[in-house]
Amino acid sequence: MADGSNSESGSRRLLGRLKAALAEPAEGQERLNRVVRLIAEEIQTPVCSIYLFRDPETLELCATEGLNAEAVHKTRMRLGEGLVGRVARKAQPINTADAPGEPGFRYMPETGEEIYSAFLGVPIQRLGERLGVLVVQSKEARAYSEDELYALEVVAMVLAEMAELGAFVGEGAALKPLHQQAVLLRGTVGQEGTAMGAAWLHEPRVIVTNPFADDSAAETARLRDAVDRLRVSVDEMLGDPRHAPDGDHRQVLEAYRMFANSKGWMRRMEESIARGLSAEAAVEREQTRARTRLEQVPDAYLRERLQDLDDLSNRLLRLLTGQGDETGAEMPESPILVARNIGPGELLSYGRTLKGLVLEEGSVGSHAAVVARALAIPLVINARGILQEALNGDALLVDGEQGIVHLRPEENVAKAFRDKIAMQAKAQERYASIRRVPATTVYGPTIALHMNAGLMADLPSLKNSGAEGVGLFRTELQFLIRNHVPRRDELAMLYGRVMDAADGKRVVFRTLDIGSDKVLPYMKRDHEPNPALGWRAIRVFLDRPGVMRMQLQALIRAAAGRPLAIMFPFIAQLDEFLAGRAAVHDELEREERLGRPLPSKIEIGAMLETPSLAFSPRRFFESADFISVGGNDLKQFFFAADRENERVRRRYDSLNVSYLTFLEWIVQRCEDTGTPLSFCGEDAGRPVEAMCFAAMGFRTLSMRPASIGPVKHLLRRTNLAEVREVIDEARGSGAQSVRPAVMEWLRAQG
């Protein structure tokens, strides 16, 4: 290959020899030795070495032709250290005629490499998984040619494929088998809870079993045929009327089409085949390049497009290998779904069979997170690396309290986890025993505990949790999981079924709360600089009353003779509430005119989610039949801290004195007008917070069903007057938060 006259046949010959060498049975170490020898010979260079990761931060020289043999398995470098470390860190080649002159050069004396001036190193990687570095060196001060670089990259990729298939397993940490080690991944909590089970990949990995092309012409024909089929399938999807002309989905499909017709993409893949790769390996090579770029581009739009390319490559690989979405694998008994991202509808179709959910990406406010919360499935998001590491069936522990995922855990970790789950189960038993008794505090009032819901699937919890009713039914979930606005009849039927399932217990239906984090895929919206402060909830409703009216009609029809409680979200001032209330009355009159049965009783309430409403005219408190504090939003606006921004969302304590004092003000205003008040944000489900809110005067709390037991358990053992004293004392002493004093008091109570 040194003559460079026929680079394609040169790479093909090299790959052909590599294939033959790897086909012979041998230990991993012996295979590596053969590989370096063979490459050195083919490229006609005195040195060829392979460095592999022994842990995510350390590379180890694992085989060499030309350097001191004694240095093998002894020479190590940190990620980023020296030229080899830099190749590994950047996942990009370094090709230099003057290695010692390169920034960051560091020579390893035990290898005897000081006499070699030219250096070419390429990453050994596959689909973003970094395995090591392949290096060639020579004495003459010459840069390796483009062809040599290309050939080495192709070889490195084949090595990565073969490593994936277990070709280089041997003694020592650097030759460990892949996908068998315990891995701990840190992500972000999406939904609390713990789960233990087996990984189930939403999109199973496509396994490329043969990276070599035996017949380049045949491989090229296979590739072209698969790409043709891909184009047809993308065009078909684009022709599907379900993909609205300007929906996000359509944008993704347009990007697919663009890539599928991209000449550059096709040319590069055909070139790879000409150099000896199979069609699948050629696709993967492009995918690996895209993933490397994905990690390096900060631009969100570009990243999304690269993501689209990645998805498209997966489709192409499935077409080539015939491995469809169905790989024939059986879903394990306690499946924990692993995905890059997942839509709410798809997640719902798995339903409660899932024990947990781990997402490579995702966000706390995503629809998937909303659904996971509704289904009470422990969810960890942003678990970077999970897609690369996890294989179907791998043992997986999801710690939704800490946002940690243990993949293939060591036995001691698994045992600690089992103990934790057993303890939780014990606590659940304790909670079950108090399910039917009220949350009566010691010498004090009884607190009404309701649950939050949003899906039909939530309703059985009404019985199991001991909730007195549904304090917040988030109606937007029904809108989020569809790809079109639901019809009035559909909604009326659904709301009716919810009331049936509630069996006489009160259900508070919150009207559609969209905007901000809850974006309907089929609703055209303008870009807003601050969506949380933007056109959302009641604001959308009042400006575009059509959907609201339809929803109100559906609710009224569903109630037919039964009591109905409607709550408007995100009311910031009096007139918004009055307008919402007037709309309900209009609809009631209309239904009456049509001769339809009306609800037996109607309550119209408001969510207090902006500080402004707490200071609104007395008339607001008089006109609302009830008020519910939406603490998630109220807290974000009170502290001006985005509830979805990881950096700030936990920054301010809900037991902060200013916040508690503000809540006390709301209680006071409601008491003045005799307006029933509840609290339905996430904080209501945290026992210590719930206890303090009760001490401040809240008599109704609405929370996730799973929180009712723990909250009731604590309330029943608490004297609220004493808690109030502790709070007042802490406030009086100038504390920022009452939490330390309250925790101290709780400890003293045992």
- Between residues 280 and 609, which has the closer beta carbon with respect to ligand PEP? 609
How many Cα atoms occupy the beta-carbon half-sphere of 36 within 13 Å? 26
Per-residue x/- track, 500-529, ligand PEP (CB under 6 A): -------------x----------------
- Measured between alpha carbons, how far apart are the two ends of the chain, in Å? 78
Q: Which is nearer to Mg ion, 243 or 510 (CB)?
A: 510
Query: Radius of gyration of the chain from Cα atoms?
Result: 31
Nearer to ligand PEP, 84 or 372 (CB): 372
Interatomic CA distance for residues 237 and 261, integer angstroms: 15
Q: Is 474 in the site for ligand PEP (CB under 6 A)?
A: yes
Q: Does 291 bind ligand PEP (CB under 6 A)?
A: no
Whether 335 contacts 220, CB under 8 Å: no
From the DSSP assignment, how many helices (H) and strands (E) are in the chain? Answer: 27, 23
Output 160 or 537, the one with its CB closest to ligand PEP: 537
Picked from ligand PEP, Mg ion, none, the partner binding residue 705 (CB below 5 to 8 A depending on kind) is none
Residue 230, classified by CB atoms within 10 Å of its CB into exposed (0-12), middle (13-18) or buried (19+), is: buried
Q: Which is nearer to ligand PEP, 10 or 631 (CB)?
A: 631
Residue 471 in contact with Mg ion, rule: CB under 5 A: no
Which partner, Mg ion, ligand PEP, none, binds residue 631 by CB below 5 to 8 Å per kind?
ligand PEP
- For the bound state, the minimum distance from the C-beta of residue 167 to ligand PEP, rounded and expressed in Å, comes to 51
Q: Which DSSP category does 656 fall into?
A: B
Q: How far is the CB of 486 from ligand PEP (least distance, A)?
A: 18
The β-bridge relationship of strands 404-407 and 395-399 is antiparallel
Q: Candidates 190, 276, 515, 681: give the one binding ligand PEP (CB under 6 A).
A: 681
Segment lying near ligand PEP (by CB under 6 A), choices 300-308, 482-490, 538-546, 628-636? 628-636
Taking the complex as a whole, the smallest distance from the CB of residue 450 to Mg ion amounts, in Å, to 16
Binding mask 583-622 for Mg ion (x = CB under 5 A): --------------------------x-------------
By DSSP bridging, strand 183-186 and strand 404-407 are: antiparallel
Phi, psi of 649 (to 5 degrees): -70, -25
Task: For residue 458, state whether it binds ligand PEP (rule: CB under 6 A).
Answer: no
- Binding to Mg ion by residue 630, rule CB under 5 A? yes
Task: Report d(CA 176, CA 132) in Å as an integer.
Answer: 13
In the range 630-649, which residues lie near ligand PEP by CB under 6 A? Answer: 630-633
Closer CB to Mg ion, residue 10 or residue 630?
630
DSSP 162-231: HHHTTTT--SSGGGPPTT-S-EEEE-EEEE--EEEEEEEESSPPPP----B-S-HHHHHHHHHHHHHHHH
Residue 111 has what DSSP assignment? Answer: G
**Distance (Å, whole) CA 690 – CA 675:** 20
Q: Which stretch binds ligand PEP (CB under 6 A): 64-72, 90-98, 273-281, 626-634?
A: 626-634
Contacting Mg ion within 631-690 (CB under 5 A): 633
Tell me phi and psi for residue 685, to 5 degrees.
-90, 0
Tell me if residue 112 falls in helix, strand or coil: coil
Part of the chain binding ligand PEP (CB under 6 A), chosen from 79-87, 165-173, 350-358, 627-635 = 627-635
Instruction: Return residues touching ligand PEP (CB under 6 A).
Output: 472, 474, 513, 609, 630-633, 680-681
Binding region for Mg ion (CB under 5 A): 609, 630, 633
